[in-house]
Chains A and B, each alone.
Chain A
Amino acid sequence: MQQLQAQRENGHDAEGGRSTLGSSVSEARRSHLLSIADAALGYMSLEDMLSELLERIRSSLEVDTAAVLLLDEDRGVLVARAARGLEEEVRQGVQVPLARGFAGRVAVEARPIIIADLDYADVVNPILRQKGIRSMLGVPVHVEGRVIGVMHIGTLVRRDFDEDDVTLLQLAADRAALAIDNARISEQRSVTAIMQRALLPGALPEIPGMRFSAKYLPAGSGIKIGGDWYDVFQLVNGRVAFVIGDVVGRGVLAASVMAEIRTALRAYMAQGHKLTDVVSMLNELLISMGSNRGATLSILELDAEAEELEVVTAGHLPPLLIEPDGRARLLEQKHGLPVGVRTGHRYQASRYPFPTGSRLLLYTDGLIERRGESIDEGFERLAVAACAAAAGTESSFADRVYRTLLDETPLEDDVALLAIETMPLQDTLEMTLPARPYVLGGLRNTLGRWLQAVGADESELFDITLSASEAATNAIEHAYGAREATFAIRCEHDGERVTIVVRDSGRWRTARPPSGGRGLGIIHSLIDEVSVENDQDGTVVTMTKRLTRGA
């Protein structure tokens, strides 16, 4: 209270001195303010800079309080960021809803507002009243025409703010805006960079006979993080899952929701649930976690061996399938509401053939939507671009599609794009895989594809695949879960016979694991010729089986 009293007295003094001021003094004040703003403040942290700027405003304009509140767009509130004479406003994290109260009105109406007598005004912030503030002037803080906050000053005695005061405060607000924007850009950029690294798959899986490529481009200067994401991961059953999605809203909040969704999807998929159940479970999860967690997404599962694609769409744009003959079609699904919207909603799965040579494009709306254009025109352009890109070879498929569509166009929205291609396997199939059980399903799926291509019949395919899987299981056991341990598998055929060689690096082995006996027995029963060799480098299992009808 003593401090308040002192301020009140200062206020009186200021008021007393003010009456004698002329326009030249006003000019001096302005230059004073500007010099401070331009010279020293540029090198300070945002916190120090705002604090110093407000202090200068307080002394130049001879007021008792000065504060800056910044707009939190996601929550629709103004949050106190820096204050002088009203420090508790920042300490208590005062938040003012938009369109309410003094600061809220300044932000919404985007113009200076003067309150000559607070007693008769709509004020939300209790601190202003507790402090005994009588008169206030607030101006919007603009960046590129958008209001990003409010700067206001107040006096403990009644004061009629004039045009000069408004001009000066607006100058200060503009200076603050610049600093705030710069700080936000660099802050958000680093947050964006961290989040992107954390949320988008670092390296796409490497699976023989498949190629994945992706583009992710946030729109604008990096101030706004988009809620677009994609994901690719191989399931324990050997199939590959793809996700593309777009969280409602933007900014760090949207990105955090996207992180929640991504994690939930991976967890549900890892538990082996069906795609429709996975999306239903995610829907209920998001609803139970509260509002503002809506998203559109498509989730797909590709069985490369069965050449079949399963799709569930939740309000997202339809994936584009480019068939091996070059025809493009949209995989449209009806009735799939976005997730997080309606509890109990049932999602439906569709299946499509996905023969070798097929391509698939998953994307977010930023790729195809243009102002003043119908969505059908966007789809049409996408199909044309995808077919053109399918013919090219340079860079990646996703990159070619992206460049065909957007090279000349400034981004209006974030763009996420994921492309999947299947191609014939090499005549000799070679894979080096981590010595972990989770690779077994993928190994069988790829080997099954290869065996089909070389002409194995159903029972031969079963025998060889199961035997290779058993040999791989032994190699994995030999590694004893050692980090970095790998094993290699090589598959050859000469038209009549298939030979599979599984080689581990048994360096990690200290003693032979007890199991493996049954696996070896199975191999001997199913395969014509089997040899197991141990040397210093590890164990090599060679299996040869004659095919009844060679390729």
Chain B
Amino acid sequence: MSPLEIERIDGVPVARVREDVDAANATTTQQQLADALGPDASSLVVDLSEARYLDSAGIDMLLRLGDRLDHRRAKLVLVIPDTSQLKRLAAIVGLPDAIAVRPSLQEALREAARSATDLDMPEQATTGGTSPG
């Protein structure tokens, strides 16, 4: 199940999750999201505006994805609109403590651009365990 649509906006990969993420597809979805980052991008926006249900397997997946991106010195930014039921769920599980969550795609892109500037250092991304900030 690949519920994703991926495009690049101003060089930032944006993955739209159109379907539920649960135990049936969390692993493949995580892989596809990680691939969406590509070799050069310093941030990935995962837009959950159209996603209806994201269960604990989906939450775990996003946390793992955030860690994985950290290792690649890249930043994960989620879009969860204020009107989404997922907003309450995210608060319950403390998702915003671990991952940047923004209410709109514009704000998420702004966050991505900001982190790109932060990370715009001559140093190459390495596989090492030194994660930024």
A interface residues with partner B (beta carbon < 8 Å) = 236-238, 270-273, 437-438, 440-441, 444, 458-459, 462, 465-466, 469-470, 473, 476-477, 515, 518-519, 521-522, 525-526
Contact = CB atoms under 8 A, between A and B. Distances in A.
B92 interface: yes
Interface in B48-93: 53, 55-57, 59-60, 85, 88-89, 92-93
B115 to A, nearest CB: 27
A272 B2 contact: yes
**Is chain B's binding surface mostly helix, strand, loop or mixed?**
loop
A237 B56 contact: no
Contact of A272 (B19, B88, B89): B19
Contacts of B57: 473
Contacts, number: 72
28 contacts: A236-B19, A236-B24, A270-B1, A271-B2, A272-B25, A273-B2, A437-B22, A437-B24, A438-B24, A440-B20, A440-B24, A440-B55, A441-B20, A441-B22, A466-B53, A466-B55, A466-B89, A469-B53, A473-B23, A473-B55, A476-B23, A515-B56, A518-B56, A518-B60, A522-B55, A522-B56, A522-B92, A522-B93
A470 B2 CA distance: 21
A273 B5 CA distance: 9
B92 A237 contact: no
B3 interface: yes
A465 B59 CA distance: 16
B32 to A, nearest CB: 10
B51 to A, nearest CB: 11
Q: Chain B interface: which size bin? A: 20 to 34
Interface string B15-55: 00011101111000000000000000000000000000101
B59 to A, nearest CB: 7
Nearest to A516: B56
A237 B60 contact: no
Contacts of A437: 22-24
Contacts of A237: 1, 3, 19-20
A526 B89 CA distance: 9
A519 B60 CA distance: 10
A462 B1 contact: no
Contacts of B1: 236-237, 270-272
A478 B57 CA distance: 15
List 6 A-B pairs, minimum CB-CB distance, nearest first: A437-B24, A462-B85, A437-B23, A519-B56, A518-B56, A272-B2
A348 B87 CA distance: 34
A521 B94 CA distance: 12
B92 A473 contact: no
B68 to A, nearest CB: 18
Given A238-B20, A444-B20, A473-B55, 13 more contacts: A270-B1, A271-B2, A272-B3, A272-B18, A437-B22, A437-B23, A438-B24, A440-B22, A440-B24, A465-B53, A473-B23, A473-B57, A476-B23
Contacts of A236: 1, 19, 24-25
Contact of A526 (B19, B23, B59, B92): B92
A441 B24 contact: yes
Nearest to A458: B85
A518 B24 contact: no
Nearest to A439: B24
Contacts of B25: 236, 272
A277 to B, nearest CB: 10
A522 B89 contact: yes
Given A462-B85, A521-B93, A470 B20 contact: no
Given A236-B25, A437-B24, A519 B19 contact: no
A518 B22 CA distance: 13
A411 B24 CA distance: 44
Nearest to B83: A458
Contact of B59 (A459, A469, A518): A518
